Amino acid sequence: MIELNEKNSGILQKIFLPNKLNVEIYLKREDLIHPHISGNKWHKLKFNLIEAQKLNKKTLLTFGGAYSNHIYAVASAGKQFGFKTIGIIRGEEHLPLNPTLEFSVQQGMHLHYIDRTNYRKRNNKEFQAELAENFGDVHVIPEGGTNMLALKGASEITNNIDIEFDYICCAVGTGGTISGIISSQKGNRKVLGFSVLKNGSFLKTEVRNLVYEYTGENYSNWDINLDYHLGGYAKINYEFVQFVNQFKENIKIDLDYIYTGKMMYGIIDLINKNFFDTNAKIIAVHTGGIQGNIGMQTKINKLEK
């Protein structure tokens, strides 16, 4: 049976954060679903794993960078649900392995490195067929896990919200998670994403297409904010690190530096800039990613010096 105890994913935690317009933030703790298959990655994987099982596939093959939360989650899910796993990793091997890849190998994942040029072909059907031929009868899950089955899973993120709200926010990498959330809202409320990529405007097209493919609708109650990537994927600065540290100290919740930290940094800055209406209720989805913080520590130490 492919299921996790998802009772923790229902937790909505109100964040105490007094502000002039009385905007309220509730953090939806998807990070508590599982110690390793956490956050949005579980939702995105769930129906993909069920599909692999239906097709009687024994091996999952997927793609990611060396610090990918998706690679980490697939390795862990493979071990938990009895699949072999192959991770196609962008770039060259660096030893010792970083904590993300070290963990993935411990879970039994086989790592296969490809150069950046070949990596660009990752969504190409012929390239995938070639890989499948090399590795046998594999079930291919795309980079970041984003496909229609991922949208189906991500649309469940909003299932058990039992308060009324005006906004729901999440961090955006490939756009799969926000597309599922947009689909679940059926044009109601506002969905606001925060791009963690520099030059992320292409994500708006990507998300529009994904939502259309999944629902057949062109909803307009959503946007992706492009202002809080802080220089690009996994780029950080001193002020931001202070923000994440302060958040942990005051609110007692860990944020990750790549996704949820940047979303929360953006939300709070927008509150201070009076972007949200008086008394607006915001749900911010904690999509997990805490495992990546160990891998960021060297960068953080440099900044703090």
Ligand X SMILES: *Cc1c(COP(=O)(O)O)cnc(C)c1O
Q: Is 64 a residue that touches ligand X (CB under 6 A)?
A: no
Closer residue to ligand X in complex, CB, 71/131: 71
Total residues at interface with ligand X (CB under 6 A)? 20
The correct pick among 64, 78, 142, 144 for binding ligand X (CB under 6 A) is: 144
What residues from 17 to 46 belong to the interface with ligand X (CB under 6 A)? 39-41
Q: Which residue is nearest to ligand X (CB)?
A: 289
Stretch of residues binding ligand X (CB under 6 A), selected from 78-86, 211-219, 244-252, 287-295:
287-295
What residues from 108 to 127 belong to the interface with ligand X (CB under 6 A)? none
d(CA 35, CA 39): 9
Q: Is 255 a residue that touches ligand X (CB under 6 A)?
A: no
Judge whether 48 and 58 are in contact, CB under 8 Å.
Answer: no
CB of 175 to ligand X, least distance (A): 5
Place of tokens 């039992």: 162
- Interhelix angle 176-185/40-54, rounded to 10 degrees, is 90
Closer residue to ligand X in complex, CB, 53/293: 293
The correct pick among 59, 69, 76, 155 for binding ligand X (CB under 6 A) is: 69
Q: Pattern of binders to ligand X over 203-242, x per CB under 6 A? A: ----------------------------------------
The correct pick among 260, 266, 268, 276 for binding ligand X (CB under 6 A) is: 260
Stretch of residues binding ligand X (CB under 6 A), selected from 91-99, 237-245, 252-260, 275-283:
252-260
Closer residue to ligand X in complex, CB, 20/76: 76
Judge whether 129 and 27 are in contact, CB under 8 Å.
Answer: no
Place of tokens 């030893």: 95
Q: Is 176 a residue that touches ligand X (CB under 6 A)?
A: yes
Q: Is 151 a residue that touches ligand X (CB under 6 A)?
A: no
Q: Is 265 a residue that touches ligand X (CB under 6 A)?
A: no
The correct pick among 45, 138, 151, 171 for binding ligand X (CB under 6 A) is: 171
SS3 122: coil
The correct pick among 87, 153, 289, 295 for binding ligand X (CB under 6 A) is: 289
DSSP 4: -
- And the tokens for 124? 């190409």
CB of 299 to ligand X, least distance (A): 17
d(CA 90, CA 200): 20
The correct pick among 9, 59, 100, 146 for binding ligand X (CB under 6 A) is: 146
Closer residue to ligand X in complex, CB, 61/169: 169
Residue 15 neighbours by CB under 8 Å, 6+ apart = 25, 26, 27, 251, 284
What is each CA distance from 269 to 82, 102, 240, 256, 265, in whole angstroms?
44, 36, 12, 17, 6
Q: Is 168 a residue that touches ligand X (CB under 6 A)?
A: no
* Radius of gyration of the chain, Cα coordinates, nearest whole angstrom: 19
Query: Would you state the torsion angle of the CA atoms of residues 211, 212, 218, 224, taken in this order, to the nearest 10 degrees?
Result: 30
Closer residue to ligand X in complex, CB, 86/171: 171
d(CA 33, CA 39): 6
Residue 121 neighbours by CB under 8 Å, 6+ apart = 127
Q: What share of the chain is helix, strand, coil (3-state, %, to 5)?
A: 45, 20, 40
DSSP 98: P
By CB under 6 A, name the binding residues for ligand X.
39-41, 69-70, 144, 146, 171-177, 256, 259-260, 287-289
